């Protein structure tokens, strides 16, 4: 009886202990989860046949340890045994042997991983695991913070920036840049033109980098209507055009001749136009005066001609008078008009007795026609 009671008490205590241990484990998980942290980029891009660096930072609850007491491991998501990087290279998958390495210091909490000779199948996701050698229980796998990789088959072309039109004799600057995700093997940029070249690299954040090259030279007339070309060379056997160019147009530098020649040309053109206008006006006035002279001559000739025309009309009247006289009965007998006495010498007083009938008739006719 006593034994049965003791057994029941032990069973009750054992159940309470198990429940306590369960809640302690949950609490530790929550606390440790707040202390064991990792900072990675969840999505990255990689150029096939080149390299990529997966940036990674982590923290752990213990005191800071040197790198030789910290073990960093990269493995596939949900597959802890599919290791792509380990300090013991014999534990690495054959597909990743010799292609992966840590580029940071684990003692400085840098767990960045480089993957070289990237393949199409290297898309992940990949997770980081840290183990401290101070105690076997000090290890943590960040299974919920993994990295996926998007593969790029062909390299992007560089970007060339510069002024299309440059001034002769003045320094011109051309900029060539390209973005990438492998800072351990920066792409190299080259130019097809000589000059001063300055290369630089900078981080754009989130695992992206930019390589930049500045070309400075003094353009001449021979550089006009040519192209300045920039070529990028990536690490590895990368496919793609990897070239970009920019046309150049060189403006001649303004000199005294560039100011005088256009001014003289404009002045000469103005003088030419003025001379032509003057000649046209002068010719027009000359023609107008000549026309008026010709019109006056015509009027003068017309007045002279009208005088002759009146004489002809009088002659025609005389001829008509002769015809009438012949028609009146004189026949072919020559007629001579009697001279009339001057009014001053003799008065016009005639009597019937002075003329006979025939003479009177003829005289009347003569007086009639003589007064016409």
Taking residues 30-41, report their average pLDDT: 71
pLDDT at 299: 56
Return the top range by mean pLDDT from 16-20, 164-168, 216-220, 262-266: 216-220
- Say if pTM beats, i.e. exceeds, 0.75: no
pLDDT at 338: 53
Backbone angles phi, psi at 230, to 5 degrees: -120, 135
pLDDT at 187: 93
Distance (Å, rounded) from C-alpha 279 to C-alpha 276? 5
Is 12's pLDDT higher than 60? Answer: no
Return the exposure string of 125-142: e unless at least 16 CB atoms fall within 10 Å of the residue's CB, then b. Answer: ebbbbbbbeeeeebebbb
pLDDT at 70: 85
- pLDDT: which is higher, 355 or 142: 142
Q: Confidence class of residue 52 from pLDDT cuts 50, 70 and 90? A: very high
HSE on the CB side for 298, CA within 13 Å? Answer: 6
- pLDDT: which is higher, 273 or 298: 273
Question: What is the average pLDDT value for the chain, to the nearest integer?
Answer: 75
pLDDT at 303: 55
Q: Confidence class of residue 184 from pLDDT cuts 50, 70 and 90? A: very high
Give the closest residue to 365 by CA, choosing from 321, 319, 334, 313: 321
Q: Which two tokens stand for residue 48?
A: 């096939």
Are the C-beta atoms of 58 and 39 separated by less than 8 Å? yes
pLDDT at 46: 94
The angle formed by the CA atoms of residues 152, 182 and 142, to the nearest 5 degrees, is 90
Return the top range by mean pLDDT from 5-9, 284-288, 292-296, 314-318: 284-288
Taking residues 105-118, report their average pLDDT: 92
Alpha-carbon distances, residue 144 vs 38, 78, 105, 140, 210 (angstroms):
10, 10, 23, 11, 30
For 324-355, write each residue's pLDDT tens digit. Answer: 444 444 444 444 545 555 555 554 444 444 44
- pLDDT: which is higher, 133 or 125: 125
Are the C-beta atoms of 106 and 115 separated by less than 8 Å? no
Upstream peptide bond of 262 is cis (omega within 30 degrees of 0): no
Distance (Å, rounded) from C-alpha 88 to C-alpha 100? 12
Using DSSP's 3-state secondary structure scheme, residue 64 falls into: coil
Taking residues 289-302, report their average pLDDT: 58
Under 8 Å CB-to-CB from 236, ≥6 apart: which residues?
A: 47, 49, 50, 51, 116, 117, 118, 185
Provide the greatest CA pair distance for the chain: 224
Is 169's pLDDT higher than 80? Answer: yes
Distance (Å, rounded) from C-alpha 135 to C-alpha 166? 68
Is 112's pLDDT higher than 90? Answer: yes
User: What residues are paired with 222 via a beta bridge?
Assistant: none
Distance (Å, rounded) from C-alpha 121 to C-alpha 99? 13
Under 8 Å CB-to-CB from 136, ≥6 apart: which residues?
A: none
Alpha-carbon distances, residue 70 vs 32, 90, 112, 274 (angstroms):
17, 18, 14, 96
Is 233's pLDDT higher than 70? Answer: yes
């Amino acid at each position: 009886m006593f034994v049965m009671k003791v057994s029941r008490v032990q069973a009750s205590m054992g159940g309470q202990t198990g429940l306590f241990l369960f809640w302690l484990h949950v609490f530790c998980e929550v606390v440790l989860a707040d202390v064991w942290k990792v900072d990675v980029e969840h999505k990255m891009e990689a150029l096939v046949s080149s390299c990529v660096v997966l940036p990674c930072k982590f923290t752990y609850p213990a005191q800071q340890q040197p790198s030789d007491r910290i073990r960093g491991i990269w493995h596939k998501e949900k597959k802890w045994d599919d290791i792509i990087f380990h300090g013991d290279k014999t534990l690495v998958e054959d597909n990743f042997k010799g292609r992966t390495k840590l580029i940071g210091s684990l003692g400085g909490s840098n767990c960045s991983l480089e993957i070289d000779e990237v393949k199409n199948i290297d898309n992940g996701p990949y997770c980081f695991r840290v183990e401290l050698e101070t105690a076997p229980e000090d290890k943590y796998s960040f299974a919920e913070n993994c990295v996926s990789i998007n593969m790029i088959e062909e390299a992007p072309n560089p970007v060339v920036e510069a002024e299309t039109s440059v001034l002769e004799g003045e320094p011109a600057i051309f900029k060539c840049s390209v973005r990438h995700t492998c800072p351990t093997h920066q792409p190299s940029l080259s130019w097809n033109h000589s000059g001063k070249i300055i290369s630089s690299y900078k981080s754009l954040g989130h695992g992206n980098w930019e390589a930049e090259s500045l070309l400075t030279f003094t353009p001449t007339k021979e550089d006009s209507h040519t192209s300045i070309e920039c070529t990028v060379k990536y690490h590895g056997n990368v496919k793609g055009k990897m070239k970009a160019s920019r046309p150049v147009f060189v403006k001649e530098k303004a000199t005294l001749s560039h100011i005088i020649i256009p001014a003289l040309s404009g002045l000469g053109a103005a003088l030419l136009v003025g001379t032509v206008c003057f000649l046209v006006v002068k010719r027009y006035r000359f023609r107008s005066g000549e026309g008026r002279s010709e019109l006056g001559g015509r009027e003068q000739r017309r007045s002279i001609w009208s005088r002759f025309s009146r004489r002809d009309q009088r002659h025609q009247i005389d001829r008509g008078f002769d015809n009438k006289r012949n028609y009146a009965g004189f026949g072919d007998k020559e007629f001579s008009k009697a001279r009339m006495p001057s009014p001053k010498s003799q008065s016009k007083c005639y009597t019937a007795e002075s003329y006979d009938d025939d003479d009177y008739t003829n005289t009347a006719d003569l007086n009639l026609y003589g007064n016409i």
